[in-house]
Amino acid sequence: MSQRVVLVTGAAGGIGKCVAELIDKKKYKLRLMIRSKTNKKQTDAIGSFGEIVEGTLDNFEGLKQVFAGVDTIIHLAGVPDANATWESLRAANIDGAYNVFVAARAAGVKRVVFASSIHAISGSPRDFQAKTYEPVNPGDLYGVTKCFGEALARYMAEQEGLSAIAVRIGAFQPHASARKEDGGLWMMDAWLSQRDCVHLFECCIDAPADLKFAIVHGLSKNTFQRMDITDTCHLLGYKPQDNFTSEYPSLKPYKLEEKIVAHNVWDPEQKSGLRDQLPTMERDGKKK
């Protein structure tokens, strides 16, 4: 089986570098897009993981050239600043996203995996858990640009024939950050570990070819979740491994991931008062 050619924009950034390093090299042949101004140290850090190509989001013709022969694009490049002004966001996050999607379609790319963000729903109350199918509610202009990207992804999928998956990335941080007693608690309901992030992107690449469009949530298997990942797991076969409460020093001793159990109708240990009196249910051809 030949390797799929996967191009990563923003490959020298935090998530891009992680994807380049950890993604399965036996399955995917990487093309890592960086800006010409990327310093040598950043380039050297990813150079051994795939083919380095230069490209900028404002050069449409140049994007078509570097996208030639690519199966899937993971579009990570952009301005990731929740405090950014519209003027500083527009070129990369609006015009740049447009150029990537249209150039991908023109170059014959099959799928674009768009890095959206939890900021697309960050305007929701803190006690609200966002679902993939509910209206967006950005809490900042950065989130607004991600909502635009999601809408553009759907347009390109529904109207122009390009498969597109938008991944709302949560608090992408290494395990070391989740273990910082003095500064990690903010990500308790939004953490996305490095390995879970890469696994999710692999699931997006490998999703059935007939998957036209989807919005999925990128969080680890946290006990408390700002965004619901149920649809993501079911649709893509996503199986996150990490849980913030089992990493954070003050929470780890309580073993909350074991004591706070989510309702699961398929768990034989969870009773309902009626279930034992009813015929067994089937899911995926298997009886409960």
Range of weakest confidence among 30-44, 83-97, 147-161, 205-219: 30-44
Residue 279 has pLDDT above 90, yes or no: no
Question: What is the DSSP code (8-state) at residue 227?
Answer: B
Catalytic (active-site) positions: 142
Q: Render pLDDT for 14-37 as a digit per residue (tens, 0 to 9).
A: 999 999 999 999 999 999 999 988
| For residues 252-260, average pLDDT | 87
Residue 150 confidence (pLDDT): 99
CA distance 192 to 240: 9
Residue 130 confidence (pLDDT): 98
Q: How confident is the model at residue 266 (pLDDT cuts 50, 70, 90)?
A: low
Q: Do 66 and 53 touch, CB atoms closer than 8 A?
A: yes
CA distance 26 to 143: 35
**Coil, helix or strand at residue 128:** coil
Residue 135 confidence (pLDDT): 98
Q: Render pLDDT for 185-196 as a digit per residue (tens, 0 to 9).
A: 999 999 999 999
Q: Render pLDDT for 209-242 as a digit per residue (tens, 0 to 9).
A: 999 999 999 999 999 999 999 999 999 999 999 9
Q: Render pLDDT for 95-125 as a digit per residue (tens, 0 to 9).
A: 999 999 999 999 999 999 999 999 999 999 9
| For residues 40-48, average pLDDT | 93
Residues sharing a CB contact under 8 Å with residue 1, sequence separation 6 or more, in sequence order: none
> What mean pLDDT, rounded, does the chain reach?
94
Strands (E), 78-176: 111-117, 163-169, 171-172
Residue 267 has pLDDT above 80, yes or no: no
Residue 287 confidence (pLDDT): 53
Residue 128 confidence (pLDDT): 95
Cα angle: 226, vertex 282, 279; to 5 degrees: 115
Task: Locate the domains of the chain by residue range.
Answer: 4-253
Residue 288 confidence (pLDDT): 47
Q: How confident is the model at residue 38 (pLDDT cuts 50, 70, 90)?
A: confident
CA distance 8 to 30: 7
Strands (E), the chain: 4-9, 28-34, 51-54, 72-75, 111-117, 163-169, 171-172, 191-192, 213-218, 282-283, 286-287
Pick the CATH number of 4-253 from 3.40.109.10, 3.40.50.720, 3.30.2290.10, 3.30.479.10: 3.40.50.720
